[in-house]
Amino acid sequence: MEDDKMLSVESLEMPALTKAQLAELLFDQIGLNKRESKDMIDAFFDLVSCRLVEGEDVKLSGFGNFQIRIKAPRPGRNPRTGESIPIQARRVVTFHASHKLKERIQG
């Protein structure tokens, strides 16, 4: 009986939404053909990626903001050897969910 209450790792994993599934949704719900749907999804993500690479923030109203942040250089450590190594400055992408999205997630 205790086994019934235990959750497996697999049951905790949520399936990812893929670009192919997004294209399929455009096909099903809007009526674009499959090629147009795929091209539209690819164009959207290419545009977002290009803007981020150029250092621009991407704001999607009601969803959230993608921002480029520069992480300062810092000392690091190789976990295998314990040797100190410098970690160079780098650019990273951060995502901040909008209040609307946070409210929807909370139910």
Q: How far apart are CA 47 and CA 71, in angstroms?
A: 24
Note the pLDDT tens digit of each residue in 7-65.
444 545 668 889 999 999 988 998 889 999 999 999 999 999 999 999 999 999 999 99
> Is it the case that residue 1 has pLDDT exceeding 70?
no
- Look up the pTM and report it: 0.72
The pLDDT of residue 13 is 65
> Is it the case that residue 95 has pLDDT exceeding 70?
yes
The pLDDT of residue 82 is 92
Q: How far apart are CA 4 and CA 6, in angstroms?
A: 6
Residues 6+ apart with CB under 8 A from 103: none
Please give the domain boundaries of the chain with CATH numbers for all domains: 1-56 (4.10.520.10), 57-107 (4.10.520.10)
